[in-house]
Structure 1
Amino acid sequence: MKTTLFYGPWQCRREFMNGCQRGCASEGHTLKGCMWLADFKFDWEGSLVLLPVTVKAGSRYGIHHCCCNYPTLPKAAKEVERKRWEKIRDSFRDDWSKKFGEWPVDGGISWPGHHIRDLWHGGNPVEPNNIIPVQPSIHDEFNRAYPACYAGQAPWNTVGPDLPYTDN
């Protein structure tokens, strides 16, 4: 199994934007924007047990964030949630590595774990499905783009292409 990560941020494709619209509304919130953060590409190669045939397969999974009009946490409450993350960060990275391959590292320093639904807007700091590894420069870019998404500003408030990158 090989996992390849492609990072945005990109405008959400129609499917993601529609899902965000439904998700925000179901929680009693208004959609302000949608940000496509990353694509996980999973490639598998192996042999069938019954036949001596090599088989290749793969799939993709898009990670996106819905910028609903969630209330924000006071600074002190956000810091409490950040401390919860810091307590489990190393064990989280170990668990992630067992499932998807080694947690990315640059120069001996682990990449940050990005909270898809950010802590300031009530994201769960220890929920495995809310955290992905992100290259430090990209993480900074995400953090700069989130306020515009929550403010309903372009380009996050409009639909983008179905696949905004090439991997060939």
Structure 2
Amino acid sequence: MPWIPVLGGRMKTTLFYGPWQCRLEFMRTCQRECARVMGCLWLADIKLDWEGRLVVPPIPIKASSRYGIFHCCCDHPKVSPDKNEAERKRWENFRTSFRKDWSRKFGDWPEEDGVAWPGHHIRDLHHGGDPVDPSNIIPVKPGVHTVFNRAYPACYRGEAPWNTVGLNLPYSDK
């Protein structure tokens, strides 16, 4: 994604996509959140880079941060097909305004060949995820979205590798 101007400098958002096995910290969070943990999906990392300049003393500064996006596959029952369809309709009605708002904060909503990437619901709608909660949605490449959608059922069934701890950082951005 391109650099965008922000107060005191400029910012760039980079998304790294899994899915990967959750690191220990994420798995422990799932153990606290779930009555019974089936597994954990580390979906993505959001890396924010900032470049700017201090006023006093006037020197350039660079900083970065990372935020891991993961999902706990708890032993939640699936919602009914009617409820799932209603929640998908809520998302469809919300999608355009959500993408515009996201674009103002992080740069243009990603596209591939002129088609907008899907918005992936971190806590899936089949298990009660909120379809219009901005903190529950991330843009995902179409091919990666397909991989995510295959991994979720396996995670909820408690299948490997989603039921075991993975690496602290399973990718390199160099």
Query: Aligned residue for 1:13?
Result: 23
**What SS is found at the alignment partner of 1:90?**
helix
CA RMSD of aligned residues (A): 0.6
Matched residue pairs, number?
164
**What SS is found at the alignment partner of 1:9?**
strand
Taking structure 2 as the reference length, what is the TM-score of the superposition?
A: 0.93
* Moved >6 Å (runs of 4+): none
- Of 132, 139, 142, 2:148 maps to 142
1:125-152 deviations in whole A, cap 9, x for unaligned?
A: 0001100000000000000010000000
Query: Aligned residue for 1:93?
Result: 99
Taking structure 1 as the reference length, what is the TM-score of the superposition?
A: 0.96
Query: Aligned residue for 1:23?
Result: 33
Separation in structure 2 between the aligned mates of residue 30 and residue 140 of structure 1, nearest angstrom: 26
Aligned-residue identity in percent: 66
Query: Aligned residue for 1:106?
Result: 112
Structure 2 unpaired stretches of 5+: 1-10
Query: Aligned residue for 1:123?
Result: 129
- Of 66, 73, 80, 2:79 maps to 73
1:40-66 deviations in whole A, cap 9, x for unaligned?
A: 000000111222210000100000000
| Amino acid in the other structure paired with 2:21 | Q
Query: Aligned residue for 2:4?
Result: none
Structure 1 unpaired stretches of 5+: none
Query: Aligned residue for 1:62?
Result: 68
How many Å apart are 1:83 and its aligned residue?
Answer: 0.3
